Chain A
């Protein structure tokens, strides 16, 4: 890390944020699929799903937010892959800049783009009757979990973007991540699932994250879920970060 790290990262962040503002469609398409799912599940399937005292849109929202992030990071991998392919990456690497700045600019851009998409999806949910009486502290905790989750998935996307051979490969890794919330407590309570499926659903990261977010904004005691959720987010984040920076060092060696 050199003395120019923060300055260089800021300059490169400005560059990739311009890319986003000039292709607003990537943020809109990221938000459209989750919003369509919200509509489908709240107005078509939701009536048949028993979620107890919680209204279905309130029940569903956390899972939809995670799906938003999972599809948003496909663009992170895509943008990184484009930079590598076009050669602008090599121009930066041959310049006297802090080399890690190039990655951090993409990571921070991913965070900004995903937060915008998340806000759009939450606004859509508000229109569909989502309500919460939770205070500022609870919402800050929700935001914190979502930021950690986005960073963890973003570093996974960095690995994909750096090691992909084709454009399709760079974004295809996100499909399983988008699918994961379906086998969790995000759409339906896990109680009705058959044994092995239920075991998987209850022990995979999405369930604890979804439950923690849901309990926070519905003002219920969060219990142990929030610690499990944080452990998953931080664990994935650390492993993905180490693997991504390792891949990066091999690329630029």
Chain B
């Protein structure tokens, strides 16, 4: 890695535009992602999050604007970009007919690594899939599948990982498992760009959050900065009711540890959102 790359942000997006026929999905998107951080791109369905990820992972060409990933231009240096990234989530699948271990070995071989079998066994252990490693992925639960998916992203230690809606369609327990896997990734110094439509997911995981709305980034900042955009918070004391999620996770015996805060900060004058 050159000195230039170390200084530059992991991802730099400037003036990105993309249209599908007459539909203008991206209308000038700008953002930077610092090395080693978790960056969440938040937006409702159809906001263009997946389009951004597809452009950054060289699957799609932008109409205008530039994007650099790990210092490489996604259009002109696509091969270098592909060496620097891995892609996981909504539309990057695992192979259902192969076993979990075979999926990992496949990716290790395609990344031209030595000892693909050992790499696969290590990852199966780390992601608690060792017992399921010899089973076909078609028999996996949603959570196991997503853990395998994230494990596949780690192979070859790419410095930048794209996670497109990593928890969409997962049950609460699987969701917490996926979050733990993402935290583990970031703990190793990997830069993570995550797209999500769940506000709590961004809140739980991200160092910085950008909101993509109608093809533009309308806000970009840390959670604290974003909260300061609204009128000063006032503190209300509300009786702590367990959420349905708490009840569910307690009953099924998960130890995810995302306890709801006893004191809820809210800027709204009424607390009608409190359960």
Contact = CB atoms under 8 A, between A and B. Distances in A.
Interface of A: 2, 4, 7-8, 11-12, 15, 18-19, 22-23, 86-88, 90-97, 252-253
Interface in B85-102: 85-87, 90-98, 102
B95 A88 contact: yes
B240 interface: no
A133 B105 CA distance: 48
Interface stretch (B107-115, B187-195, B202-210): B107-115
B77 to A, nearest CB: 12
A27 B111 CA distance: 31
B59 interface: yes
A-B pairs, top 6 by smallest CB distance, nearest first, are A87-B93, A91-B92, A94-B87, A86-B93, A87-B91, A94-B57
Contacts of A252: 59
Interface string B104-144: 00110111100000000000000000000000100000000
Nearest to B149: A91
B61 A253 contact: yes
A8 B110 contact: yes
Nearest to B108: A11
13 contacts: A11-B106, A11-B109, A11-B110, A15-B95, A18-B97, A18-B102, A86-B96, A90-B59, A91-B92, A94-B58, A95-B82, A95-B86, A96-B82
Contacts of B152: 91
B79 interface: yes
Nearest to B116: A11
Nearest to A11: B109
Interface string B29-43: 000000000000000
A93 B59 contact: yes
Contact of B91 (A12, A22, A90): A90
A90 B83 contact: no
B92 A87 contact: yes
Given A18-B97, A18-B102, A23-B97, A90 B110 contact: no
Interface residues of B, number: 29
A188 B82 CA distance: 56
Nearest to A8: B110
A94 B85 contact: yes
Interface string B61-90: 100000000000000000100110111001
Contacts of B136: 22
A103 to B, nearest CB: 15
A4 B109 CA distance: 11
B97 A96 contact: no
* Residue in B54, B79, B91, B110 with the greatest tally of chain A CB atoms within 10 Å: B110
Nearest to A85: B93
B127 to A, nearest CB: 17
Contacts of A86: 93, 96
Contacts of A91: 87, 92-93, 152
Contacts of A90: 54, 59, 87, 91-93
Contact of A15 (B79, B98, B111): B98
Contacts of B90: 87
A2 B82 contact: no
Contacts of A2: 79
A52 B79 CA distance: 62
Nearest to B95: A88
* Residue in A91, A93, A95 with the greatest tally of chain B CB atoms within 10 Å: A91
A88 B94 contact: yes
A7 B112 CA distance: 9
B106 to A, nearest CB: 6
A93 B81 CA distance: 12
Given A4-B112, A95-B110, 18 more contacts: A2-B79, A11-B106, A11-B110, A12-B110, A15-B95, A15-B106, A18-B97, A86-B93, A86-B96, A87-B93, A90-B87, A91-B87, A91-B92, A93-B58, A94-B57, A95-B107, A95-B111, A96-B82
